[in-house]
Amino acid sequence: MLSTSYIFLAYFAIIIFVFGILCKVWKYAVIPNPLKIPLTPAPTNTIGVILRMVFEVAFFKSLFKSNKFTWLGGCAFHLALLVVLASHIRFFVSPVPEPIMLLQTFLQSISMFIGLLFIAPLVYLFIRRVWVDRTRFVSIFADYFVLILLFLIGLSGITMKYLIRPDLFAVKTFILGLISFSPEPIPTNPIFITHFTLILILLIYFPFSKLMHGCGIFFSPTRNQIDNPREKRLINPWDKRII
């Protein structure tokens, strides 16, 4: 019964996640850009814009320029997220490829550090949100909710690694069963079920939340526009019939 409902819920969450993101990306793609508004100093050619986006996405350059403390928290968290996701690959592929095995061997040795790197920035960013007057003023429930959700995911993950361990074989069997469309029963470890539930909540919530910044950043007109308004005139899409 538990397994059936979780398998159903998992597929439901994945469908919402994938189609939600596709819909949002489609929405971002078709929305017109009426104005040329690159944030200066802006690159004047395409390669420059690509470089700008790379720095923006990989190192959060504009956040670095505006607030070093927030940047530190954000950067640490995103780095930890990347590493944590990379170490989860081993649950999705079978047999585990050699490069991932090597990566895993390295990550295993620093796993406690990575766990801390994941949840400490979340606590820090939460405190910042409550502490700094301006930030508290503009914060709504959704801002806190995402931080708490990610914190609980990290906490349950760490608990699973160090305190109440699930049977990893059962966990991997369950996940492989899900992605090969021949579902297996869910492991009975309560912490795993908690972790999994929180992930599903995250997946369902993702397309409707500010977490879409991961896709949205590519579409921000102040960053992705080339600074060439004189060389190439931008015509407002709904002015075309007039001109």
Partner 1 sequence: MNKLIAIFVVLIFGVVLLSPFVVNAIRGGMSKGVSKLDIVLPSSGKCIKDKEYMRANHMDLLKKERVKAVRDGVRTNDYSLKNCQTCHQKRDEFCDRCHHFVGVKPECFECHYYPTGKKECKGRE
Q: How far is CA 5 from CA 52, 173, 176, 185, 208, in A?
A: 45, 17, 17, 10, 23
CB of 61 to partner 1, least distance (A): 18
Q: Looking at beta carbons only, is 9 or 21 nearer to partner 1?
A: 21
CB of 149 to partner 1, least distance (A): 21
Q: Do 135 and 128 contact (CB within 8 A), yes or no?
A: yes
CB of 91 to partner 1, least distance (A): 7
CB of 26 to partner 1, least distance (A): 7
CB of 224 to partner 1, least distance (A): 7
Q: Tell me the C-alpha distance between 100 and 91, whole Å.
A: 11
Q: Tell me the C-alpha distance between 63 and 66, whole Å.
A: 5
- For the range 133-137, what are the long-range contacts, defined as Cβ-Cβ under 8 Å and sequence gap of 24 or more? none
Q: Tell me the C-alpha distance between 127 and 149, whole Å.
A: 15
Q: Looking at beta carbons only, is 21 or 120 nearer to partner 1?
A: 21
Q: Looking at beta carbons only, is 99 or 134 nearer to partner 1?
A: 99
Amino acid at 131: W
Q: Looking at beta carbons only, is 18 or 58 nearer to partner 1?
A: 18
| Tokens representing residue 151 in the block | 């914190």
Q: How far is CA 91 from CA 40, 101, 176, 216, in A?
A: 45, 11, 7, 29
Q: Looking at beta carbons only, is 60 or 218 nearer to partner 1?
A: 218
- Chain contacts with partner 1 (rule: CB under 8 A): 18, 21-22, 25-26, 28-31, 33, 89-97, 100-101, 104-105, 108, 165-173, 176-177, 179-180, 184, 189, 215, 218-219, 224
Strand residues in the chain grouped as ranges (E): none
Q: Looking at beta carbons only, is 27 or 136 nearer to partner 1?
A: 27
CB of 6 to partner 1, least distance (A): 17
Environment class of residue 195 by beta-carbon count within 10 Å: exposed (0-12), middle (13-18) or buried (19+)?
buried
